[in-house]
Structure 1
């Protein structure tokens, strides 16, 4: 099974309690956990048939994937702001998923 990163980002975006620190639900652990369960149920076809410890491992994997994407977004955003004008850095490299992660710019 190949991982559908675009769908994953879209599902995360629909659940601000996972990514938006200013959201009231962000600090509510139970609410956040149920949202991660929803995401996993959508991402993994066999979710309902899995044992509980396997489900927990997969949720951890999704959370790691999300942290990687979020960190990538932050790094790229910081690179853009640190490029000096006239430094000859006109070459723009391909940045997959960066446009999809624009919702993280809320802060």
Structure 2
């Protein structure tokens, strides 16, 4: 599976977005809530697991969509599995370092 990584510098710190390439541009529902994996926000460079992990370690805020992207964040302790949201065929998580 291919991961897409986008990094943006903000006054509050590094903003990272990561998604599985196959969910880019898709919209998923979860009851009254929907999630669109906007290319303007999530499209980025193809990245390895190591590159994504390093980016998450530097991130002040991260948004993740897709089983591989979210699973990697959970595996490395950036996101607790209990905080992962399910949307139809995918998952979503946010990470905020305070």
Same fold (TM over 0.5): no
Q: TM-score range by the shorter chain?
A: under 0.3
Higher RCO structure, 1 or 2 (CA under 8 Å, sep 6+): 2
TM norm structure 1: 0.25
Greater fraction strand: 2
TM norm structure 2: 0.27
